[in-house]
A and B are shown apart, each in its own frame.
Chain A
């Protein structure tokens, strides 16, 4: 694939990365390099805050340092804070830059996926569009199955979650997930889940119908005419839809609690509490 060419550069720059990709290494170092410089700036300006005249000299002094650091910076590849660059130039800078290459893919053009490059047969290969971001992931987990735009976008988002990128006005992202047609989403993601849920509903339905029949003698057709049975059916369907894992029961309870909590906080002032427990 032509798109394999960016991979080697991505891999080589990422070779120093911890494969158990956690945010700490690069973010942490970035953070460390930021702190010392920032406190310097703060103390310089805070002490002179009261006297307006002195402020100008203090800020002039601080401004000189970032300018010097920026000109000394050989690869302008990494967009960093001037304060960070000043401290990072001491030695951290190169290492930090190497760990954070920008997101690049020949099919990612002008802030969105160029659909013309995903042509298969007569039409667009939506699965390829779904898988587009795989090439620019961590480098591990490179899978050989079909690529599509949804997973490509997932890869791009995962990448940016782990290495947040600075925004710039000239490289605006305009990708809108609604350009991927609805049936591509359904075919790729909904069908397996739908199969599982329908299976569960069918199993529950069959055994509930048998159980009610054995208890009450009402056959399937007559059960559908009975209001209570129809309610049970509704409960079964809703239950299968909402509770897919054991944890979902706790999650739903918490969700319900949270939903009414804010309202309760607003109504608190109207509840007549006794004067004795006013000091909460």
Chain B
């Protein structure tokens, strides 16, 4: 993984990778269908449909009613809208979650992630065989980063922003310009855009309905990582429901909050808060981004970042090295701020 600053200072993250460690690049279309078929093989009933609405129960003893339009194999035969009565609902339908809207989970502010899949000629793909790039700078995103991620036989070039959503196409053009020589001869085969939640919803559990993943707003700041947290929260929620059923036979809101939400917050809220602080400090201005890239060349930073990233837990570093890192961060930020002020002074000449 290479991190490139606005002035093209590059920090190569893979210099201090442990032998088996890696940063996974995945194609959602492949992962999603894999997860679905695996659930089905484990005994889940797959019902291809479009959820139109969810009727809330009138009492703890009444079921939730899901109204859906079936699609898939036997769709044409039956009625247009069917209803399914369920005891517990787990909303995993992503950032535009219909379940969240129906249970009144509240709203969150979102960023937009815009991505183009570009098919490169073989020489171009060879350069990206084991290289992923992240570009930071005001030209590609005022509060996030642009990326070039290899996806097996093509690359995904994209950028994201929360503060400048109307300008996303300009930012995307700038992202492609930054990687231009390496994308030469490439053809855009798909364009995708999706909202990315910036923080959790005000209510993640309402009644006997729980939200997981993007629907709940579990996207880490700074890296924008949500796939792991979606899968993990889904698993934790499922485990919690099974545990409650075994103990009490019936799920109540308080049980869900205690078994799923409380455990989730205890395990991950700290990580999320730290990444939020990182994003606020280091993505705030071009000067701070230069400092970030400079710091990322440090061996301790790379090792700590990898350990934390691979295990999704704030890695416990050595206190003396942490102090050294704090000192280096302060130094880098200071120097970068001074340079930033010089840039402003020169601009006003």
- CB-defined contacts of A230 to chain B, threshold 8 Å: none
A59 at the interface (CB under 8 A from B): yes
Query: A34 interface residue, CB < 8 Å from B?
Result: yes
- Please give, as numbers and ranges, the residues of chain A lying within 8 Å of B346 by CB-CB distance: 134, 137, 141, 151, 154-155, 158
Residues of A near B199 (CB, < 8 A) are 262, 265-266
Instruction: Please state if A278 and B181 are interface contacts (CB–CB under 8 Å).
Output: no
Residues A79 and B178 in contact in the complex (CB < 8 Å), given A63-B185, A63-B187, A66-B185: no
Whether the Cβ atoms of A173 and B8 lie closer than 8 Å is yes
Contact residues in A for B280 (Cβ distance below 8 Å): 258-259
Q: How far is the CA of A134 from the CA of B173 in the complex (A)?
A: 29
Q: Which of B29-37, B235-243, B335-343 contacts A (4 or more CB under 8 A)?
A: B335-343
Whether A31 pairs with B342 at a CB distance below 8 angstroms is no
Q: How far apart are the CA atoms of A42 and B188 in the complex, in Å?
A: 7
On whether the beta carbons of A82 and B185 are closer than 8 Å, the reply is yes
For the complex, give the distance between the alpha carbons of A83 and B9 in Å. Answer: 27
Shortest C-beta distance, B286 to chain A (Å), equals 6
Among A21, A67, A140, A161, max chain B CB count under 10 A is at A161
Within the complex, what minimum Cβ distance (angstroms) separates A257 from chain B?
12
Please name the residue on chain B nearest to A85 by beta carbon: B184
Taking CB atoms, residues of chain A closer than 8 Å to B22 are none
Instruction: Tell me which residues across on chain A come within 8 A of B10, comparing CB atoms.
Output: 167, 172-174
B314 located at the interface, meaning its Cβ lies under 8 Å from any Cβ of chain A in the complex = no
The distance from the CB of B128 to the nearest CB of chain A, in whole angstroms, is 11
B residues less than 8 Å from A83 (CB atoms)? 188
CB atoms of A154 and B7 under 8 A apart: no
Residues of B within 8 A of A262 (CB): 199, 221, 272-273, 276
A residues with CB within 8 A of B:
21, 23, 27, 30-31, 34-35, 38, 41-42, 45, 49, 55, 59, 62-63, 66-67, 70, 79-83, 134, 137, 140-141, 143, 150-151, 153-158, 160-161, 164-169, 172-178, 180, 182, 185, 189, 258-259, 262-263, 265-266, 268-270, 273, 278-280
Alpha-carbon separation in the docked complex, A241 to B260 (Å): 45
Q: Chain B residues with Cβ under 8 A from A45's Cβ?
A: 187-190
B349 interface residue per 8 A CB criterion: yes
By a CB distance below 8 angstroms, the chain A residues around B138 are 161
Within 8 A of A (CB), among B222-249: none
Report whether A175 and B9 are in contact in the complex, using a CB–CB cutoff of 8 Å.
Answer: yes
CB of B170 closer than 8 Å to a CB of A = yes
**A174-B9 contact given A45-B189, A169-B127, A189-B338, CB 8 Å threshold:** yes
Kindly identify which residue among A143, A177, A259 contacts B335, using a CB–CB cutoff of 8 Å.
A177
B residues with a Cβ closer than 8 A to A are 4, 6-10, 103-104, 106-108, 119, 127, 133, 135, 137-140, 169-170, 173-174, 176-191, 199-206, 221, 257, 261, 265, 269, 272-273, 276-277, 280, 286, 290, 294, 297, 331-332, 334-336, 338-340, 342-343, 345-347, 349
| B342 engages A160 (CB within 8 Å) | no
Query: 21 interchain pairs (CB within 8 A)?
Result: A34-B176, A35-B169, A63-B187, A81-B176, A82-B185, A154-B342, A154-B345, A154-B346, A161-B343, A164-B174, A164-B178, A167-B4, A175-B9, A178-B335, A266-B199, A266-B265, A269-B202, A269-B203, A273-B202, A278-B206, A280-B104
Taking a contact as CB atoms under 8 Å apart, the answer to whether B185 and A67 are in contact is yes
How distant is B312 from chain A, measured CB to nearest CB, in Å? 17
Q: Is the CB of B7 within 8 A of A157?
A: yes
Judge whether A82 and B9 touch: CB under 8 Å.
Answer: no
Contact pick for B7, options A156, A166, A269, A279, CB 8 Å: A156
Of the candidates A30, A141, A150, the one whose C-beta lies within 8 Å of that of B339 is: A150
Task: State which of B170, B257, B297 has its C-beta within 8 Å of the C-beta of A176.
Answer: B297
A158 touches B187 (CB 8 A): no
- B residues less than 8 Å from A31 (CB atoms): 169-170, 173
For B189, the chain A residues whose CB sits under 8 A away are: 45, 49, 55, 59
Q: A30-B173, A79-B180, A262-B199 are in contact. Are A165 and B8 (CB under 8 A)?
A: yes
Say whether A269 contacts B178, CB under 8 Å.
Answer: no
Chain B residue numbers with a CB within 8 Å of A169 are 127, 182
Question: How far, in whole Å, are A106 and B61 apart by their CA atoms in the complex?
Answer: 79
- Nearest-CB distance from B241 to chain A (Å)? 17
Closest Cβ–Cβ distance, residue B42 to chain A (whole Å): 29
